[in-house]
């Protein structure tokens, strides 16, 4: 075993970033200890734009994760890597059909909803940013709700927590921040209510991270 694989992973992230939160949930579910290096997306014009951070993630986005001697960006790639290399509960099912369903739901959220209402996009929209975010979240949830009616058990796909659930909770949090009525989507709401009571989702919540501002820290 190499020294790199023995070192704690380092998560470069931001307390309110959905993508950083996904990785925190995955680490918590797997019982992986890790260190955090905050990257403030607002301060000084955004610390993600520094030359130092660009060497970690040329897209100038969080997260960037240093693990096993490598640096990875893109939260779903990180989650799948740790699922394949670390013990603990599976984050993608062994069954091929269920695994495809997990990836479908994860991609719907991570590609079809979240990027359209993330900080960089919202900053470009200007005064109409809330309506913009609401539109794309609701559009995505209108697609996600009937899919989950077909795939869900206790969680997004059956009765085991998966990468799809890891993507769902941060997205519902964002929906509520932008005043979307999640009650319109009963399956989404029910699954989320179940998940937020689980310890891994609690400890990874934006309200209790090292870089959470004191006025909203839990």
User: pLDDT of 159-182, one tens digit each?
Assistant: 999 999 999 999 999 999 999 999
Predicted TM-score of the model (pTM):
0.95
The mean per-residue pLDDT over the stretch 111-124 comes to 91
Residue listed under structure tokens 């000084």 = 44
Architecture of the 3-89 domain: 3-Layer(aba) Sandwich (3.40)
Instruction: Give pLDDT tens digits for 119-138.
Output: 889 888 888 999 999 999 99
Query: Are the C-beta atoms of residues 24 and 49 closer than 8 Å to each other?
Result: no
Q: What are phi and psi of 17, to 5 degrees?
A: -70, 125
Going from N- to C-terminal start, the domains of the chain cover 3-89, 96-201
Rounded Cα distance, 134 and 113, in Å: 10
Strands (E), the chain: 10-13, 35-38, 64-67, 70-73
Architecture of the 96-201 domain: Up-down Bundle (1.20)
* pLDDT reported for residue 120: 85
Rounded Cα distance, 166 and 152, in Å: 14
Instruction: Give pLDDT tens digits for 10-69.
Output: 999 999 999 999 999 999 999 999 999 999 898 888 889 899 899 998 999 999 999 999
pLDDT at residue 99 greater than cutoff 60: yes
Radius of gyration of the chain (CA): 17
Percentage of the chain exceeding pLDDT 70: 97
Rounded Cα distance, 205 and 143, in Å: 26
pLDDT at residue 1 greater than cutoff 60: no
Contacts of 175 (CB under 8 A, 6+ apart): 137, 141, 182
* pLDDT reported for residue 7: 87
Residue (of 148, 132, 134, 131) closest to 185 by Cα position: 148
pLDDT at residue 3 greater than cutoff 60: no
């Amino acid at each position: 075993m190499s020294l790199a694989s023995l070192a704690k992973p380092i998560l470069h992230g931001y307390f309110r970033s959905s993508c950083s939160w996904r990785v925190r949930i995955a680490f918590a579910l797997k019982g992986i200890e890790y260190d955090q290096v905050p990257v403030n997306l607002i301060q000084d014009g955004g610390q993600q734009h520094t030359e130092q951070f660009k060497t970690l993630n040329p897209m100038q986005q969080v997260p960037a994760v240093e693990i096993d001697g490598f640096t990875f960006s893109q939260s779903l790639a990180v989650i799948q890597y740790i699922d394949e290399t670390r013990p603990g509960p599976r984050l993608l099912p062994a069954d091929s059909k269920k695994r495809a369903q997990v990836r479908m739901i994860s991609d719907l959220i991570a590609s079809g909803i979240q990027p359209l209402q993330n900080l960089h996009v919202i900053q470009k929209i200007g005064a109409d940013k809330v309506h913009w975010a609401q539109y794309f979240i609701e559009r995505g949830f209108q697609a996600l709700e009937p899919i989950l009616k077909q795939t869900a058990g206790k969680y997004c796909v059956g009765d085991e927590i998966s990468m799809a659930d890891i993507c769902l909770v941060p997205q519902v949090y964002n929906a509520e921040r932008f005043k979307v009525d999640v009650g319109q989507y009963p399956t989404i709401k029910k699954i989320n209510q179940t998940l937020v009571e689980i310890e891994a989702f609690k400890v990874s919540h934006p309200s209790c991270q090292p870089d959470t501002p004191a006025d909203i820290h839990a």
